[in-house]
Chain A
Amino acid sequence: MMEITEGSHAIAEAVRLCRPQVISAYPITPQTHIVEALADFVANCQLDAEYITVENELSALSACIGASAAGSRTYSATTSQGLALMFEVCFNAAGMRLPIIMSIANRALGAPLSIWNDQQDSISLRDSGWLQFYAEDNQEATDLHLLAYKVAEDHSIQLPAFVCFDGFILSHTYEPVDMLTQEDVDKYLPKFSPYERLDAADPISFGMYATPEYYPEFRYEMDQAQKRAKDVIAKAGKEFGAMFGRDYSALIEGYRLEDADTAIVAMGSICGTIKDAIDEMRVEGKKVGLLKIRVFRPFPSEEIAKMLSHVKRVAVLDKNISLGAKGATALEVRDALYGSTIPVKGYVLGLGGRDVRKKDIKEIVALSEKGQGDIFYGLRKELI
């Protein structure tokens, strides 16, 4: 049923319908509304789960590790500094192969302190082994939670997943969202069936010590699981489409890309703005298209190379910067197109909540046509 609802509340409702058995989180802007809503659900007996309150994010995700290892479907949510505090635990959750789902309301990292949106937080954990999904709107943010559980809990994957959506821009915005029912979700998402679990009657340890003779093989196995996830996402995404009419089988999506000369590559809510800008540019006769990345880990290199094979130039927009190098997406798209003659230019923009408007997208397309890029776009010259 279509409802006009705040992004955070739509996500909290989707999480409730996934029937997590243990939730542990620490409030942090702009994620707070999600965990507040879930705490209410538990307190009001609308969700039969343990809600573990903790002193910080490191403890929150640590509690989730224990709960997941004990065989519970487990959920957390955070952003920015909270995720940074979880850094160590993130690597452990992935290494122990625990299918924890965590919502990331993307926010800039300090210092300087910023509560506003960019994607530096989750991008900074790209090497941790977590699957990473990025939502364009609140419908996608809501749906991706179901998909994430389905994929993460698959016994051939067994990896945790971030569901990322832009803080404030999506989390605090009211949009129409098709809300699923408990019956729908139960049909799509079976009960969590852990591959192995902690059991006092049959003891087992998770994440044991590996000497140099064993460690590289464990990392290799995680990398293999990431790569297998492409097919599992395709299957689970298709099934979602068949049940609910929204197909998430593709890791990337094209918009007016078939005949485009200039391809813009981007992730998250900015894609909506880009689509509007493209429609206007098309009226002016400019052949511009969008390649939206919905799944950043595993990174869809081959899929991107295939979808961009016909374009004349690529402009990659990054709401993050690997300081001293480039935006993370630009680096990986360039790697995906290695060996082709298509020029790839990166544009770092929207950091710390700086607005990205349609005219910015048009200006970036103009720059890319002139071969100018690999820049911070839209800097205030009077400040530097």
Chain B
Amino acid sequence: MALAVGCRARPGKARDNKTGSWRVFKPVFDHEKCSKCGMCSTLCPEGCIHEDAEGFFDPDYTYCKGCGICAVECPKEAIAMKQEEK
């Protein structure tokens, strides 16, 4: 990619930053416990937790930084932060 002058960018450019590489702890979602409330998706600062066809939620690990907010906020304690080995 050639450099844009002054690091200027069109909308949507943040998708190029694969922030998933920052992650140390990985949120693992347990659909057995999930009540499909969507709190994790609402509060995710990265906006990377998406609802699937059945109404369950899963993070996009390409962008999930592993901040753990979803795990702390989940009312059903259905999200566990697990040490990730790379």
Contact = CB atoms under 8 A, between A and B. Distances in A.
Contacts of B5: 97, 158, 195-196, 221
B3 A205 contact: no
A207 B17 CA distance: 15
A218 B9 contact: no
Contacts of A207: 6-8
Interface in B1-42: 3, 5-11, 13-14, 17
A43 interface: no
Nearest to B4: A208
Interface residues of B, number: 11
Contacts of A158: 5-6
Given A214-B3, A217-B3, A221-B3, A208 B11 contact: no
B10 A218 contact: no
Contacts of A218: 3, 7
B6 A206 contact: yes
A202 to B, nearest CB: 9
A207 B9 CA distance: 8
B9 A205 contact: yes
B57 to A, nearest CB: 27
B10 A208 contact: no
Contacts of B14: 209
A379 interface: no
B11 A203 contact: yes
Nearest to A214: B3
A210 interface: yes
Contacts of B9: 204-205, 208
A237 interface: no
A96 interface: yes
Interface residues of A, number: 20
Interface string B56-86: 0000000000000000000000000000000
Interface string A176-205: 000000000000000000011000000111
A210 B6 CA distance: 11
A79 B84 CA distance: 52
Nearest to B1: A214
A95 interface: yes
Given A209-B17, A211-B17, A96 B11 contact: no
Contacts of B7: 95-96, 206-210, 214, 218
B3 A208 contact: no
A218 B7 CA distance: 7
Interface in A209-224: 209-211, 214, 217-218, 221
A211 B8 CA distance: 14
B17 A96 contact: no
Nearest to B22: A211
Contacts of A206: 6-8
A196 B8 contact: yes
Query: Which of B7, B9, B13 is most buried by chain A, counting CB atoms within 10 A of its CB?
Result: B7
A98 interface: yes
A214 B3 CA distance: 8
A206 B9 CA distance: 7
Query: Which of A195, A205, A207, A211 is most buried by chain B, counting CB atoms within 10 A of its CB?
Result: A205
A20 B20 CA distance: 45
For the complex of A and B, the 10 pairs showing the least CB-CB separation, nearest first, are A97-B6, A96-B6, A208-B9, A208-B7, A205-B9, A206-B8, A97-B5, A203-B11, A207-B7, A217-B3
Interface of A: 95-98, 158, 195-196, 203-211, 214, 217-218, 221
14 contacts: A96-B6, A96-B7, A97-B6, A195-B5, A203-B11, A205-B8, A205-B10, A205-B11, A207-B6, A207-B7, A208-B8, A210-B7, A211-B17, A217-B3
Given A158-B5, A158-B6, A196-B8, 20 more contacts: A95-B6, A96-B6, A98-B6, A196-B6, A203-B10, A203-B11, A204-B8, A204-B9, A205-B8, A205-B9, A205-B13, A206-B6, A206-B8, A207-B8, A208-B7, A208-B8, A209-B14, A209-B17, A211-B17, A214-B3
